Structure 1
């Protein structure tokens, strides 16, 4: 890799590599130390092509969600099975990982600007600006930037566009899927909202069970599925469909509680879940 080689967005890859190494090292204990991140699906990451992959996920904090995914993706590609043990995987990170974020968020301070250099596709939100509800047209240049990123590598997006759970899926994600036909990989995360503050920069509470489930790619008929059908598939895949709000049976709650106790015991004793 040439010292000044750039990606399609003009970022120097040498600088990006060192930023990932440094930030990854500084944040590692947030997911394996203060808390223990339980991962499921590393083998799916290793099966994916190098480009045109869209990760869709529920959203719990501004930055910690994405940082955790950078750790998990690179650890998985370094043949770690559902583990981010030993940060050596950061030495040769995948440099064509991008994530979609609100432009105003990525301009709010020095750290967000540094994180933006790591891989942000900064777009203008059509429904929210400066803490107020707005209604504006989608900028085609924003859609084109996401397409450019997919052409170069992997893109992470949070189709609800908010950290508030069970909010509607934004149709823009479905339009992007129809237009660029990426492999769509759902991810379901939990525990981040309890572990960190809203921005995901400060550890709010330790010894919280965090989880990240990487699911098999969605089956999508790019030509025939409607926008509404794709939106519904996304809702179910990232477990944000209204049906998930229904009452959970008591026996299922008890089984989940037992699993949580086991996870906590494993985390306290620094042992893998299985």
Structure 2
């Protein structure tokens, strides 16, 4: 492969590979040492096609969620069974993994700009900007970039568009599914909000059990299911439907959190 080969977004793959390696080594301890990451369904990753796959997930931090998925996906592709043990898998990472993120987030400082080079598809949010509600048109260039990424590989998206739980699913995700007909793989994560700050850069608490459940691809009737039906199905798949919301007391929440942390696993 030529050393200066580029992906469809003009990023040099040699540079991208080294960025993934470096950030992979730096972040690995967050999921193996300071906290533990319990994985379920990694065998599904190995069964997916190389292109036109859309991962949909609930969202808890800006960057730690995505970083964990890069680890899990690459480890699974190298034969790891629900584990990211032995970081050698990061030496030859899958380079056509992308993730959808708000452009204002990816421009907020040098580190996010570097993260963007790793695989961000930066879009302009139509409903929120700089902490304020807005109402603006979808940029066609954003849609085009998502199509370009799906044609090249795998795309991770957080269809709620926020780290706040049980927020509505954005209709744009359903439109993408109906228009481009990708293989849609749901993922449910937990524990990241307890372990890290909102950006997912700082460790807020140690010895937290984090979990990532990769589910079987959704069976979707792309031609006949409506946008509303797809949205509701996404809500259930990523366990963010309003009917799944449990209102508990602070005491009960603390008890459940302590119980989760007791279940954490450590590797020598």
| TM-score above 0.5, yes or no | yes
Residue number in structure 2 paired with 1:74? 74
Aligned to 1:185: 185
Kindly provide the CA deviation profile for residues 50-85 of structure 1, in whole angstroms up to 9, marking residues without a partner as x. 000000000000000000000000000000000000
Instruction: Give the superposition deviation at 1:259.
Output: 7.6
SS of residue in 1 equivalent to 2:201: coil
How many Å apart are 1:151 and its aligned residue? Answer: 0.2
Distance 2:90 2:10 in 1: 22
State the distance in 2 between where 1:245 and 1:22 align. Answer: 38
**Cα distance between partner residues in 2 of 1:128 and 1:80:** 39
Q: Runs (4+) of structure 1 moved beyond 4 Å?
A: 256-259
**Deviation of 1:247 (Å):** 6.4
Deviation at 1:141, TM superposition (A): 1.1
Q: Measure, in 1, the Cα distance between the counterparts of 2:178 and 2:141.
A: 17
Give me the whole-angstrom Cα distance separating, in 2, the residues matched to 1:217 and 1:199: 28
Q: Is 1:244 aligned with 2:244?
A: yes
CA change 1:258–1:202 in 2 (3 A) is closer
Distance 1:223 1:141 in 2: 24
Distance 2:94 2:259 in 1: 33
Distance across 1 between alignment mates of 2:261 and 2:163: 26
Question: Residue by residue, what CA displacement relative to the aligned partner does 1:181-202 show, whole Å, maximum 9, x if unpaired?
Answer: 0000000000000000000000
Unaligned runs of 5+ in 1: none
- How high is the TM-score relative to the length of structure 2? 0.95
Q: How far apart, in 2, do the equivalents of 1:31 and 1:263 lie?
A: 15
Q: Quick check: 2:207–2:261 contact (8 Å CA) kept in 1?
A: no
CA positional deviation for 1:257: 8.4
1:146 equivalenced with 2:153 (yes/no): no
Provide the TM-score with structure 1 as the length reference: 0.93
How far does residue 131 in structure 1 lie from its aligned partner after superposition?
A: 1.0
- Residue 263 of structure 2 aligns to a residue whose secondary structure is helix
Instruction: Compute the RMSD of aligned alpha carbons.
Output: 1.6
The alpha-carbon deviation at position 236 of structure 1 amounts to 0.2
* Structure 2 unmatched ranges of 5 or more: none
> Which aligned pairs between 1:87-166 and structure 2 lie closer than 5 A?
87-166=87-166
**CA–CA separation in structure 2 for the residues paired with 1:168 and 1:124:** 18
